[in-house]
Amino acid sequence: MAGAIDVFTAANAVWAERPHHRGARAPLLQWRVESLDGKPVETASGQVIDVDGPISARAAADAVVVPGPFVVNIERFFERIDIVEPLLAALRRQHARGALLASYCTGSFILAEAGLLDGGVATTHWAKAKAFAKRYPEVDLRVSEILTEQNRIVCSAAVTTSLNLALRLVEKFAGLEVAAETGKLMLIESNRVSQTSYASMPSAPQHSDALVARAQRWMEKSLQHGFSLAELAQHLAVSERTLNRRFKLATGGAPLQYLQALRVDVAKRLLETEGLSVDAVSARVGYNDLSTFRRLFRRETGLSPREYQRRFARRNARAVPAA
């Protein structure tokens, strides 16, 4: 929230410096910070945020920004719907009056819970994508996107994209030139197009199926070898049909899909830390055909292996041989 306000403050300074705005009595962008009961809010990090008053559905607004709650289990956030409902009702009224609504990270869950995203597009934090898709099947979730916009609703990905979100609001209310200058002033990377390159697989199984967990461990141990569903099923003493069915129920995808995601995830870590060439990484994760590896890697991350390495390689990694 503070980051977004910093962007609005910087935009006001940029706007005020323009010749035809000098001497203006009031800044272009003005805002209020509100809570449900009008009392200060303690954030997940322990900071106490003072507010300007309670959320009012009667007040007119050009835009409403919904912060993302920082919670481990986002679904538990909505167990006390009686607490959240006044916020949802206020958002529905504001949108009906013509206000633009904006949210980042898990804030998209709040907009979806209010029914405002049904039939429209949205994005959220990549780690919350499965929970979002399951809870809100009527929403066209585009988790690879940094920003989505439709029906006067703008959503952005993880928390640092709140700066990109705020910059989009500056563009809408102050114009493209002011937004561009504000972005340069604050070093906001406006050309981020995908969050998939930042995603990583969970370190522990997100299910309770022991058979599928054994299958996943087998894949991890035999990553460099060719994949055979028949061989894996035989190792687990089940039929291929049973393995496929159990895997889809537990993970939402087929074994081959999981293996491809696993190979890309391991490849990302190797590119970040080992200083290996792209060819060597490809072989390490079981792809002897470099073009196949590159195609799969780009599909999963939005970047080529070389681009990913340039962006995310840690400084203490060994020198990377030329590919």
How much is the pLDDT for 201?
Answer: 67
For residue 218, the one-letter residue type is: W
Question: What percentage of the chain carries pLDDT values higher than 70?
Answer: 92
Phi-psi region of 83 (alpha: psi -120 to 50; beta: other; left: phi over 0): alpha
Rounded mean pLDDT of 278-302? 89
Mean pLDDT confidence for 192-216: 75
- Res 57 pLDDT > 60: yes
Q: Is the pLDDT of residue 98 over 80?
A: yes
Q: Residues 212, 238: contact at Cβ < 8 Å?
A: no
Helix H or strand E encompassing 6: helix 2-16
Structure confidence by residue, pLDDT tens digits, 108-165: 999 999 999 999 999 999 888 888 999 999 999 988 888 999 999 999 998 889 999 9
> Is 90 exceeded by the pLDDT of residue 102?
yes
Residue 67 has pLDDT above 70, yes or no: yes
pLDDT for position 273: 82
Of 56 and 138, the one with more pLDDT: 138
CATH 1.10.10.60 in the chain is located at: 210-312
Q: What is the pLDDT of residue 223?
A: 82
Residue 73 CB contacts under 8 Å (≥ 6 apart), including other chains: none
Angle at 319 between CA 315 and CA 323, to 5 degrees: 120
Q: Which long-range contacts (CB under 8 A, 24 or more apart) does 228-232 make?
A: 229/255, 229/256
Average pLDDT of the chain, as a whole number: 87
Which pair of tokens denotes residue 270? 């190797």
What value does the mean pLDDT take over residues 52-62? Answer: 86
Mean pLDDT of 287-295: 90
- Percentage of residues in the chain having pLDDT higher than 90: 50
CATH dotted code for 2-198: 3.40.50.880
pLDDT given for residue 192 in this prediction: 65
Question: Could you report the per-residue pLDDT of 248-274, keeping only the tens digit for each?
Answer: 988 888 898 888 888 888 898 888 887
pTM more than 0.75: no
Written as one string, the DSSP assignment of 70-112 is --S-GGGGGS-HHHHHHHHHHHHHHHHTT-EEEEETTHHHHHH
Identify the CATH number of the domain defined by range 210-312: 1.10.10.60
* CATH 3.40.50.880 domain span(s) along the chain: 2-198
Residue 38 pLDDT class (50, 70, 90 cuts): very high
> Can you give the pLDDT at residue 220?
85
**Host H or E run for residue 210:** helix 210-221
pLDDT of residue 82: 86
